Structure 1
Amino acid sequence: MRVSPTVRADHAERLTVPWWMWPAGLAGAAALATEIWLGAGGVQAWLPFALLLPATVVLLVRLGRIRVAVEDGELLVDDARLPLRFVSGVVALDAEGKREILGVAAHPLAFVVQRPWVRGAVQVLLDDPADPTPYWVVSTRHPLELAAAIEAARGGTA
């Protein structure tokens, strides 16, 4: 999904997997395929390579497809949309704050999009009487910039 040139995005990022997950994932898939190859002959010998390596690539691409953006008065997280008129506050979280808010302090009805390889996050507090969700927690590599973009967009929509 790309941002169209006519729509101005206040903040946009993709939560891609880190570079080291590619060689680690492919090496793990190759090791598993080799293990199966050692005990098989004929078609079963090359089939694990033909299945496991492409499946690993697809998995890594899917893990890194989450898009976080603030545009047109909405917070977009993957396919979820939050109109900013329901936002009552935003808190930028570092790694420790993210761990705390997702740990024992977590609310069971919170909307969470979390990637463990992304250290920062934002907590978006909601004020919508029709929605039981108290807040969103969204991983981001730039928590201060995302929080500022949400606040700036809220000021523009209020």
Structure 2
Amino acid sequence: MAADNALAYDERLTVPRTWWVIVFAFGLATALVFFAYGPIAALIAFAAGGGLATSFATSQGSMRIRVTPKLLVVGDARLPLNALGEPHALFGDEARAWRTYKADTRAFFVMRSYISGAVRVEVLDPDDPTPYLYISTRAPEQLAAAIRGSARTAGSEE
């Protein structure tokens, strides 16, 4: 990997382990419903119910956050660091406030209900109607530091 593409931060927002217990329980409940039609039907229902629940859980855990020396990559969005302001690490009540009553509907949100921490970053581009980014993360201070550090590096190269 070239130095230009070196990652300063990399996180995948995976679902908590308890969700996999729920996935198994959903498959089991589906199997129990179809058990009256025989063990083969119950086995097929277990596979189908478990597969459906697994696809939901994996889709919720597919979001990646990466910070490179020039970009903040959140899922499919690629945002140049020179268009972003100061990042703010949010915890507990402050994070909840920014995703509820303080929220601006024009903001770019990546929220996961099972993650309590977040980072809020102002968007400085005057042509962009997005006022800020709200990104759920398990490590708000590390993500904010990576954005801050990479933005300084990107700014000094220009």
1:55 aligned partner: 52
Among 141, 144, 149, the residue aligned to 1:144:
141
What is the percent sequence identity of the aligned residues?
Answer: 35
SS of the equivalent of 1:122 reads strand
2:153 aligned partner: 156
Q: Which moved more, 1:106-115 or 1:69-78?
A: 69-78
Residues 92, 75 of structure 1: CA spacing in aligned structure 2 closer, same or farther, 3 A cutoff? same
1:72 aligned partner: 69
Alignment of 1:1-158 (within 5 A): 5-6=1-2, 7-35=5-33, 37-40=34-37, 44-158=41-155
Q: Which moved more, 1:81-90 or 1:41-50?
A: 41-50
Q: CA RMSD in A?
A: 1.7
Deviation of 1:151 (Å): 0.5
In the superposition, the TM-score normalised over structure 1's length comes to: 0.89
Provide the rounded CA distance (Å) in 2 between the counterparts of 1:58 and 1:21: 12
* Alignment deviations for residues 2-25 of structure 1 (CA, whole Å, 9 cap, x no partner): xxx443110111111111110122
Which segments of 5 or more consecutive residues in structure 2 lack a partner in the other structure? none
Where is the helix percentage greater, Structure 1 or Structure 2?
2
Deviation of 1:47 (Å): 3.4
Deviation of 1:41 (Å): 5.3
Provide the rounded CA distance (Å) in 1 between the counterparts of 2:93 and 2:39: 52
Which segments of 5 or more consecutive residues in structure 1 lack a partner in the other structure? none
SS of the equivalent of 2:8 reads strand
> In the comparison of the two structures, how many residue pairs are matched?
153
SS of the equivalent of 1:123 reads strand
Q: Which moved more, 1:44-53 or 1:70-79?
A: 44-53
Return structure 1 stretches of 4+ with deviation > 3 angstroms. Answer: 38-47
Provide the rounded CA distance (Å) in 2 between the counterparts of 1:81 and 1:145: 19
